[in-house]
Amino acid sequence: MLSMFRILDLTWVLGGPFAGQLLGQLGAEVIKLEPLGGDLARQVSRHGMEFQGDPGFFMSVNRGKSSVAIDLKSDAGRKVMHDLVRESDAVLYGFAPDVPARLGLDKDTLHAINPRLAIAQLIGLHDASPYADAPAFDLVVQALSGIMSVTGERDGPPVRVGYQIADLAGGLYLALACVGAMLKSLKSGQGELVQISLLDCQLALLTWQAQNYFVSGEIPHANGARHPVIAPSDIYPCLDGKFIAISPTGQHFWTVFCTAIDRPDLANDERFASPKGRVAHVEALTAILSSEFRKRTSVEWSENFFRQRVPAGPVNNIAEALDQPLAKLRNMVEEVEHPRAGGSMKFLGNPFKYAAARPLSYPPALGGDTRAVLKRVCRYDDATIDHLIQQLVLSEGAKP
């Protein structure tokens, strides 16, 4: 789908690299430009969570990329970067707002080199003082956005989402922004700079919670797994101690659900006969259902509900989620050979399903593609590359 596009990924750690990997999963060529010391993510999770020396954190968001190690603080390094820009379609970066100009990566400079270049910039909070230099780690963004206030149990303390939703959602928006800017360039021949803020993305994801607040003035609060305006829509412990999630929304599914749990009488109970009634009497309904669900195991309930097309499913842990038949059926677990050390490793699969989709290659070694990329893209000869390496402008990383 994006096989004709070349993208330079200057991001690091999680959100930005996730965007680059998504674009790779859509077929783009993604060249990861790293400082000579490498992406900080290469140093994360190095205590029992690595494979053949590669940290799992880095591996999770850097598949399918080439790695060029380059010193962008040097004049020669910026010259190499500009030569790559001239032959590319887009640049992703996540520098502090004042850094691009210092590195010669600002919009005016890059568009003077390549007028059709798409530039997708990821920032934390805002691009002007006093917020421009404020650290914007995932937990801080979750806190500022309000999402922690609606996560967790009612009357309990605020709770962070279990994975880095601020960073990863920012990466999703960044990838979409990059594609949009490239489409504009295709139509108009004119490049665009589009900026994504991690905080903006989290506020945007508030969607109906924010709209309900605008309409009613009522501030949403945490409600555990229970839906605030739909009942029943919650999780319940089963005979085996595991949980089942059910959400029979609408009268049809409510009636089918009542039959499936052998309680057709609930469908005619005046307290639960309408959606509003079920919400108004949710505590009474929860007590009844909690008693019913303890009569069978989560597997028995799940199989029963699946047969009768009731919206329900077991509450899986990570291992169970990755091992479930659907994950395998959808090719959401892939096995990839290590190109340098031998052996293979499982990775998450490609969520984009299209005819030309292929598994992404193993994450790159630091600077492992420096020479090949510069010869192919910039048409440098070996002598030029050797000179830049000797001058500590480029690095080919450790040899296998």
pLDDT at 400 over 70: no
Collapsed DSSP state (helix, strand, coil) of residue 121: strand
In the prediction, which pLDDT does 46 show? 60
pLDDT at 50 over 90: no
Number of domains in the chain: 2
Same domain? For 198 and 64 the reply is yes
CATH code of the domain containing 294: 3.30.1540.10
247, part of any domain: yes
Decide if 385 is inside a domain.
yes
Helical ranges in 87-206 per DSSP H: 99-102, 107-113, 138-145, 165-188, 198-204
- Is the pLDDT confidence value at 32 over 90? yes
Quick check: helix, strand or coil at residue 182?
helix
Helices (H), 246-367: 251-260, 265-268, 275-280, 282-293, 298-307, 318-323, 325-329
Residue 216 resides in a domain:
no
Residues of the domain holding 281 = 243-314
The whole-number pLDDT of residue 51 equals 82
Residue 27 has pLDDT above 60, yes or no: yes
On whether both 191 and 42 belong to a single domain, the answer is yes
Q: Are residues 47 and 120 in the same domain?
A: yes
Q: What amino acid is encoded at 398 in this protein? A: A
Answer yes or no: is 229 within a domain.
no
What is the per-residue pLDDT across 379-393, written as a single tens digit (0 to 9) for each?
A: 999 999 999 999 999
Q: Is 224 inside a domain boundary? A: no
Q: Are residues 130 and 274 in the same domain?
A: no
Of 292, 314, 336, which residue sits at a domain end?
Answer: 314
Domain assignment present for 215: no
223 belongs to a structural domain? no
Residue ending a domain, choose from 314, 338, 361:
314
Q: Are residues 355 and 264 in the same domain?
A: no
Q: Are residues 247 and 193 in the same domain?
A: no
Q: Which residues are catalytic?
A: 167
Mean pLDDT of the chain: 95
Report yes or no on 319 lying in a domain: no
338 & 279 share domain: no
* Same domain as 177, residue 127: yes
